[in-house]
Amino acid sequence: MDKTEKQICLYSSALLALLLNAGKLLALRDNGILAQYWRFNTAEFIFQVLVNFAFCYLIFYLNLKNQSLSSLRERNKYLPYLGINVLVGLLFMVFFGGIQRRVFRIDEFRQIYWAGYMARFGLTALLTGILTKIILLLRESKRHIRENERLKNAYTIAELELLKEQLNPHFLFNSLSSLSGVVREDPALAQQYIKHLSKVFRYSLDKPANNLVTVADELQMINSFAQLLKMRLEDSFSLTVAISEDYLNFQLPHLSLQPLLENAAKHNSATTANPLRVNIYIDGDEIAVSNNLQPVTAESSGIGLANLNERFKILINKEINIIKSPVTFTVKLPLHHA
């Protein structure tokens, strides 16, 4: 429980304890109806209020802070969850009810005393349970707000990093240089280059509402991006995609594959003698992007992979898997069943 929840529990426990025992204050009136049947005892009244307060706070504590009960509730095991609450409540009531009856020498019939005692504590448990549910709903709402903020920040950073890489002078120089050469040699091929370049930019800006896209959509964009690399690196680059149709409708976060392909081209050398080879394939329930390792000196902050991992954690509650060997670099992305 955070500080706010603790304050809510304390104030609610005090309020319920006072309200549920306020009726006994009517016995203070000498000519009142209640005074004819029950004599007001200040010590007993204070004891009963304190016991009710402790009972309320115990229920709040068990359901909001106790990890064992929280685990049962989160796993939808409501029968043992309710059973533990009822058992603890009964033990509490029997123990303090017996103490109150003996210490204050209550002369009421045993059945009447316990019926009233159980009714009061039953009502206390009901009201406390309602307030507990309200606190849990507020907690869930706050969690969703925090996750949405994390997603918004992580996605914005990733999107800006991607656009920065696409719009920085190095990217534009390589793209325009390649386009210039293609225009001189093959105007028809230049049209294809421009078409693929526009697809890459359009896809990067077209963010889906739920931030998830199908594998088919990502591969379609990757095909255009790979064509740009192919026109620039020619025979020094190759991309192999081995994804069966069974996985094309699976989902993953928007702009997951393109940064991996871009990192491979940025951080590895590519020559005709030693071409850069990138493979995209399915490994279990993950899509893997692997390239042969031919490192070149290039500044790397690691922000791209960190942001990608953050988006996967928020959107599908899973993390990416990075595997680096002496000869290959592989990133495995978990897939979401649509």
Terminus-to-terminus CA distance in the chain, angstroms? 35
Give residue 150's pLDDT. 81
pLDDT band (50, 70, 90) for residue 41:
confident
Mean pLDDT of 162-171: 53
The secondary structure of 123-146 as a DSSP string is: HHHHHHHHHHHHHHHHHHHHHHHH
pLDDT for 46 beyond 90:
no
Per-chain mean pLDDT for the chain: 81
At residue 148, the 3 state secondary structure works out as helix
Distance CA 176, CA 186 (A): 15
**What is the per-residue pLDDT for 217?**
93
Interior/surface letters 261-295, b for 16+ CB within 10 angstroms, e for the rest: bbbbbbbbebeeeebbbbbbbbeeebbbbbbbbbe
Query: Can you tell me which residue has the tokens 């071409």?
Result: 275
Distance from C-alpha of 266 to C-alpha of 163, rounded to nearest angstrom: 15
SS3 content of the chain, % helix, strand, coil (to 5): 70, 10, 20
Token code pair at residue 33: 């109806």
Q: pLDDT by residue (tens digit) across 274-305?
A: 999 999 999 999 999 999 999 886 556 667 78
pLDDT by residue (tens digit) across 168-222?
A: 555 566 667 767 777 777 777 778 888 888 888 788 777 777 788 999 999 999 9
In sequence order, the 6+-apart residues with CB closer than 8 A to the CB of 133 are none
183-192: Cβ within 8 A, 24+ apart:
189/231, 192/227
pLDDT the model gives residue 277: 96
Residues 6+ apart with CB under 8 A from 152: none
**pLDDT over 80 at 266, yes or no:** yes
CA distances (Å), origin 229, targets 165, 235, 329: 14, 10, 19
Read off the pLDDT of each residue in 13-23 and give the average, rounded to a whole number. Answer: 82
- Which pLDDT value is given to residue 324? 92
Structure tokens at 239: 């991309």
Picking from 317, 257, 310, the residue whose alpha carbon sits closest to that of residue 282 is: 257
Integer Cα distance of 94 and 34 in angstroms: 25
Q: Which domains does the chain have, with CATH numbers?
A: 3-145 (no CATH), 168-334 (3.30.565)
Q: How many CA atoms lie within 13 A of 276 on its CB side?
A: 26
Check residue 272 and report its DSSP letter.
S
> Containing H/E element for 112?
helix 110-167
Determine the Cα–Cα distance for residues 100 and 97; give it in Å rounded to an integer: 5
Instruction: Say if strands 276-283 and 237-242 run parallel, antiparallel, or are unpaired.
Output: parallel
More confident residue, 166 or 8: 8
* Confidence band, pLDDT 50/70/90 cuts, at residue 167: very low
Least confident of 50-64, 72-86, 259-273: 72-86
